[in-house]
């Protein structure tokens, strides 16, 4: 094997080896958010997604393409990414505890 190809193969192997933990970490974080949201819902601290979807659709009719569960200051927030009819992306934040719209903003 030529030295340049051997070096490229070694670099590729190390790249795959180092990227593996990053992928696994993303999966762990997603599961943690889901578990955290479920625990908060079961304790009555947040509303379930099913009770919030009508509010989100009225604020930004379109296709929901992503939902994140995040903490902003002292509030748990559902952040929805929605693709509206004209193809643009909108962000809608809903206070997960109160079940009220926090912001509805443009995206890209």
Pair 27, 56 in one domain = no
Which CATH number characterizes residue 64's domain? 3.10.450.40
Whether the pLDDT of residue 27 is over 50: the answer is no
DSSP at 54? H
Token readout for 8 is 């490229």
Backbone angles phi, psi at 86, to 5 degrees: -80, 5
Pair 76, 91 in one domain = yes
Pair 104, 57 in one domain = yes
Pair 14, 40 in one domain = yes
| Arithmetic mean of pLDDT over the chain | 76
Token readout for 63 is 């296709």
Pair 36, 67 in one domain = no
Token readout for 15 is 């790249």
Task: Report the number of distinct structural domains present in the chain.
Answer: 2
Mind listing the pLDDT tens digit for each residue in 90-101?
Answer: 999 999 999 999
Percent of the chain with pLDDT over 90: 47
Domain interval for residue 80: 46-108
Q: What does pTM read for this prediction?
A: 0.66
Last residue of a domain, one of 45, 60, 80: 45
Pair 54, 9 in one domain = no
Pair 29, 74 in one domain = no
Backbone angles phi, psi at 58, to 5 degrees: -75, -30
| Rg, C-alpha atoms of the chain | 20
Mind listing the pLDDT tens digit for each residue in 31-56?
Answer: 567 788 899 999 999 998 888 999 99
Whether the pLDDT of residue 78 is over 60: the answer is yes
Pair 106, 69 in one domain = yes
Whether the pLDDT of residue 59 is over 50: the answer is yes
Closest CA to 62 of 8, 100, 2, 107: 107
Closest CA to 94 of 62, 66, 59: 59
Q: Around Cβ 52, how many Cβ atoms within 10 Å?
A: 21
């Amino acid at each position: 094997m030529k030295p340049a190809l051997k070096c490229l193969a070694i670099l590729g192997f190390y790249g795959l080896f180092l990227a593996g933990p990053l992928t696994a970490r993303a999966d762990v974080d997603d599961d943690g958010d889901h578990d955290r949201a479920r625990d908060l819902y079961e304790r009555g601290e947040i509303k379930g997604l099913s009770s919030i979807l009508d509010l989100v659709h009225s604020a930004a009719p379109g296709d929901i393409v992503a939902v994140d569960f995040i903490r902003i200051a002292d509030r748990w927030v559902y952040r929805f990414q929605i693709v509206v009819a004209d193809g643009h992306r909108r962000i809608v934040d809903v206070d997960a505890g109160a079940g009220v719209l926090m912001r509805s903003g443009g995206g890209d």
